[in-house]
Copies of this chain bind each other. A is one copy, B any other.
Amino acid sequence: MDVVGIGNALVDVLSHADDATLDKLNLVKGTMHLVSQEQAENLYKGIGPATEMSGGSAANTIAGIASFGGRAAYIGKVANDQLGAVFSHDMKSQGITFNTQPHEGGIATGCCLVLVTPDGERTMNTFLGASNALAAHDIDANLIQSAQYIYLEGYLFDPPAAKEAFFAAAEMARNSRTRVALTLSDLFCVGRHRDDFERLIRTHVDVLFANEQELIAQYQAPDLQTAITAARGSADILAVTRSEKGAVIITKDETIEVAAQKVKKVVDTTGAGDLFASGFLYGLTQGMDLAECGRLGTVAAAEIISHLGARPQQQLARLAA
């Protein structure tokens, strides 16, 4: 196995909205809010026609790795309902190993209401639902230990049992030659879990993904350069995504700038960071150099922002060539 992803298994409910609607709903553009089932239902009533598509940050990354041709697996919790079946189908139909037992407690599969504004930016409202029920016993040690990398999403720190599962997986990885990759996920997510992230990065993380805002928040720095100086060496490899400015890859000794790919029209940025991680991790599993890993990341990100939704619609293996 190349990469095993662990995350909140969610189905995205994608809808177009204008800035005035965001204001009215008290939403901060570009961020992710956790909402209760009731809040999600109320928001859903307030939004226009939607498209349903499998999502979940780490799940998007894993789908991207499979699309590059990588051998990938996923651990995450859906319910035994229609949207759970959709999520499961979409993973398995890409050849992804996905064997986590669905939750049977009557809570629905988690969903993320994504409001896409005309500028292509996305604002997310997540009802964790069944994904909340992921626990340490769902982590398959054999799977983790057979993998080159595990990939953990910061969002998974929100459900308490999942956080335990997360540390369990990181421990299992340490006991084999499996490397650990982490994404900080979201600015507000960093706000909620900064200290836990800090401990995990110091003790377990080999590859850290973050965007500029998240890195600055994690290191409580006044600007990106200061954050990078603080972060350098905390993980072997730090990959910072910078939207249209591309990405910068930082190791103990190196700083590698990666240009963004040209995109005709940014339709929906949902999944841009997730898919950058797909390309970067796929490159690492294939032993490519860091610049090439970064390039694959930007190729995947460019594909995903060119259409609605956070799962690739073209074979990334073909685009990468």
Least CB distance from A275 to B in Å reads 14
B94 touches A48 (CB 8 A): yes
Contact with B along A134-176 (1 / 0, CB 8 A): 0000000000000000000000000000000000000000000
Q: How many copies does the complex hold?
A: 2
A313 at the interface (CB under 8 A from B): yes
A86 at the interface (CB under 8 A from B): yes
Q: Which residue of B lies closest to A67 (CB)?
A: B49
Listed residue (A81, A83, A93, A309) with the most chain B CB atoms within 10 angstroms of its CB: A93
In Å, the complex CA distance between A148 and B94 comes to 48
In Å, the complex CA distance between A308 and B83 comes to 20
- Tally chain A residues at the interface, Cβ within 8 Å: 26
In Å, the complex CA distance between A74 and B47 comes to 19
Interface residues of A in 275-321 (CB under 8 A from B): 307-309, 311, 313
Q: Which residue of B lies closest to A47 (CB)?
A: B93
A89 at the interface (CB under 8 A from B): yes
A63 at the interface (CB under 8 A from B): yes
A16 touches B313 (CB 8 A): yes
- The stretch of A51-59, A205-213, A245-253 in contact with B is A51-59
Contacting residue for A82 out of B45, B63, B82, CB 8 A: B82
A86 proximity list for chain B (CB < 8 A): 50, 52
Listed residue (A16, A47, A49, A90) with the most chain B CB atoms within 10 angstroms of its CB: A49
A98 proximity list for chain B (CB < 8 A): none
A44 at the interface (CB under 8 A from B): yes
Contacting residue for A48 out of B49, B53, B93, B108, CB 8 A: B93
A54 proximity list for chain B (CB < 8 A): 49
In Å, the complex CA distance between A120 and B169 comes to 43
A82 proximity list for chain B (CB < 8 A): 81-83, 108
A93 touches B49 (CB 8 A): yes
B51 touches A94 (CB 8 A): no
- Beyond contacts A49-B89, A49-B90, A49-B94: 12 other A-B pairs, Cβ-Cβ < 8 A, are A45-B89, A48-B94, A49-B54, A49-B63, A49-B311, A50-B90, A51-B51, A51-B309, A52-B53, A52-B86, A81-B81, A82-B82
